[in-house]
Amino acid sequence: MKRKQNKIFGVLTACGLAAGASAQAPIEWWSFDTDFSNAGTQGSVAVPVQTVPGNLSITSEPGEFIRGTGALKVIHTAGGADFLDVSRPGGVFPQRDPNIPGDTAAWTVSVWYRYDDTIGDVDARNFIFETKPNWAVGLGARTTDGRTDMEWFLQNVAQNTEGPFIDDGQWHHAALVYDETDTGTLSFFHNGEFYDVQPLNLSTFFANGSSQAAGMNIGDFRSGNGGRNWTGFIDDFAIWDTALSPNQIRALYEGDFNGTPIRPDNVTTVVPRNMGEYLAQLEFEPIIEEPQWTLVRSIQFAGPSGVAYDSQNDILYAGRRFQGADTDGMTGLDGVYRIDRAGNVTQIAGGDRPAGVTIEPGGNAVWWAEDFGRDLSQYGLPVFNGSILRTDLTTMETGVGSWGYDPAGADIDPMSIAFVPQDFNNASFSLNSRGERFVRPGNAVSVDRGSGGFDEVYVFDPSQPPVRVAIDDNGQSEFDDVLVFDGSTQNGNGVNYQLLPDGSLNSPLVNPGAIAVGADAVWVADEGLAIGGIIWKITDVDTLASLPLSQPIAPIALVIDPVTNDLIVLDRSFERGESRVVRINKTTGQVSDIITNIGGYITNNWGWEAIAISDDGSRLFLSDPLGRQIFEFSTDGPTCPPDLNGDGVVDADDFFLFLSLFASGDPRADFNNDGVIDADDFFAFLSA
């Protein structure tokens, strides 16, 4: 049996809702399928304002719409104004009711857009929408130095000026989510992925009790004079009076959830807010494909992220990544933990969304990556800044590692760390300005996935004081620590790459998440997203080669098998909520299964699986966020033979599993190891 199910995946309840979902129709929804009408429950009217008749139209031409049957097409006449005027005395955005104690406000904006400057528009900024009479909130494009990026704006609060590039002629999805119950923050999502977050107080958004968002212009900024007119296409513009979850936003972007088409009118009905709660109905049973491996235990551990194994002391270290969520009472419990053989779990460092975890050579410290860092003030770090930290295992003190945050405020998102072994052959790596090999024994490497910043691979010296170097205009570090620099992919969500005619990428790193160092090269797992996963081999500065693979994968974590020298990769390319572990030959690219049917991926931007291997290659550890556990597999067999399912308890489940193995003639039922499965094995199991 591949999978146990308490309820069939995706089946609706008698009330018509998926488990964990709640119905919430959009209050405003312009589908632009046939006209400018509003299908939302609030139904604000959009009045077309156009300099030339036809500048605003509904198009059903292939490629000019992405959802439904049509989209809004905006052709802007220089010097004129072409937009949809939306006015509503009570405001188009929900606001707190001052007459209700404790009342809070929340809302979500979702829109598809395609920037298409077909007429040579001279405007440097082009707005999808902006509130009026004041710029309380808006979403628009800005062209600088020949490139156009998507930016979002908040009056007197924040202004994003380093958004994702969108001048590729493709459709993109954007969402803004305000939730006053979550400390009053407004989050920006782009193409289904979290991009940025800023605090937003409604006393600013709705100053003096009068709405600054009594209306908005769709296709222009607040003044409506055409000075910042949109040019291109807009589709499925919707507003809800609730904060959609990352899972629901992702489903809007994908347009599908478990085979059901998703649009604004059904996303809250079909898609659950919390993917973990929904998929917890499924109990995944890992299927071992390589016979030498045995599941020896399953460690119950909610929110696991990075894992690292201390072979000398038989200690596992794991990150807990709950993004500050309080749905499971886990608020404040993000950080790094120590897990011993008996299963005792002890927190050794606090944190906020830890990603990669690794052990310093010699075992004196644990190094861990923070790609977000909302609550790192205890370490002297600013809010919302990623960093690499080091926890001393003797003093249990934590501080910024040798490669830390950027004092200038640049967004960094380190996801994985690896130390360069002492026997590393670095002959292919060139020299830096200090006459040293870029990658050399004793160094460490880290990969930055570029959510809000740049995709990069860094090299740093763990023995040096903390430093976050500056990048000059040529993409080179003044300290020569940038091994790979990709300045064209800023948002890490895979939308800026382009496949060239020869099949190569114009932007090498798409969504890198894990890194390992082999005998003579650095290896990077790049999920690749829409174009498929990539395994990069780095042999010098900006010298990457993708390993041709025998089958498609979406690599999210990788280690090097010290026995076979193969790559062992955690692949999340299977169906939603399922991952697998594969073996990849570093020479041929041949992919083969090691373990399949792992719960693994929770579908939101915080889900994070990881993998670790012992020094001798006999133990393999996998973090399973969906199952809220960490698996340990071993080539030495289980430490308690009758615990066949490896959950740490010998009970009826193991007995029935034995009977199933016995009936099917599975070699694991040969408990007396005499080569024959018979009654003697039954009694050997009972007496074990």
Burial of residue 356 (CB within 10 Å: 0-12, 13-18, 19+) is buried
Binned at pLDDT 50, 70 and 90, residue 489 comes out as: very low
Averaged confidence pLDDT in the chain: 76
Window from 116-120, 142-146, 280-284 with minimum mean pLDDT: 280-284
Residue 92, pLDDT score: 77
Average pLDDT of 544-554? 89
Window from 16-30, 137-151, 333-347 with minimum mean pLDDT: 16-30
Place of tokens 């931007």: 605
Window from 177-186, 272-281, 367-376 with minimum mean pLDDT: 272-281
Beta bridge partner(s), residue 257: 260
Structure token digits, residue 483 = 């091994």
| Same fold? 28-274, 284-634 | no
* pLDDT above 70: percentage of residues in the chain: 71
Residue 322, pLDDT score: 66
Q: Where are any strands of DSSP class E within 285-381?
A: 287-288, 294-300, 304-310, 315-320, 335-339, 345-350, 354-359, 365-370
Sheet with 335-339, strands from edge to edge, namely 304-310, 315-320, 335-339, 345-350
The 8-class DSSP code of residue 192 comes to T
CATH topology for the 28-274 domain: Jelly Rolls (2.60.120)
Residue 355 near residue 415 (C-beta atoms within 8 A): yes
Round to whole Å and give the CA distance between 588 and 517.
Answer: 18
The 8-class DSSP code of residue 39 comes to -
CA-wise closest residue to 82 among 229, 216, 201, 194: 229
Which is it for strands 294-300 and 287-288: parallel, antiparallel or unpaired?
unpaired
Average pLDDT of 493-522? 63
Q: Is 17's pLDDT higher than 60?
A: no
Which residues touch 479 (CB under 8 Å, ≥6 apart)? 467, 469
Residue 159, pLDDT score: 54
Q: Is 330's pLDDT higher than 50?
A: no
pTM of the complete model:
0.61
- Which residue has better confidence, 609 or 638? 609
Which residues touch 679 (CB under 8 Å, ≥6 apart)? none
CA distances from 156 to 159, 210, 385 (A): 9, 16, 21
What would the pLDDT profile of 390-443 be if each residue is shown by its tens digit? 899 999 888 765 455 444 444 567 888 999 999 999 888 887 766 778 888 988
* DSSP states of 355-416: EEEEE-TTSSEEEEEESS-TT-GGGTPPTT--EEEEEETTT--EEE-SB---TT-----EEE
- Which residue has better confidence, 169 or 608? 169
Binned at pLDDT 50, 70 and 90, residue 24 comes out as: confident
What would the pLDDT profile of 573-605 be if each residue is shown by its tens digit? 654 456 889 999 999 999 999 998 886 554 333
Amino acid at 227: G
Ramachandran bin of 475, using left for φ above 0, alpha for ψ from -120 to 50, beta for the remaining angles: left
CA-based torsion, 399, 404, 408, 414: positive or negative: negative
Amino acid at 336: V
> Domain limits of the chain?
28-274, 284-634, 652-687
Residue 380 near residue 410 (C-beta atoms within 8 A): no
CA-based torsion, 517, 520, 522, 528: positive or negative: negative
Count CB neighbours of 261 within 10 A: 10
Average pLDDT of 167-192? 80
Beta bridge partner(s), residue 30: 237
- Which residue has better confidence, 142 or 407? 142
Give the alpha-carbon dihedral of 591, 593, 595, 599, to 10 degrees.
70
Three-state DSSP class for residue 596: strand
Average pLDDT of 64-72? 94
CATH topology for the 284-634 domain: Methylamine Dehydrogenase; Chain H (2.130.10)
**Could you tell me where the DSSP H helices lie in 271-368?**
275-279
Residue 373, pLDDT score: 56
Residue 443, pLDDT score: 85
**133 prior amide bond cis, ω within 30:** yes
Binned at pLDDT 50, 70 and 90, residue 477 comes out as: very low
Which residues touch 326 (CB under 8 Å, ≥6 apart)? none
Round to whole Å and give the CA distance between 370 and 382.
Answer: 12
Q: Is 612's pLDDT higher than 80?
A: yes
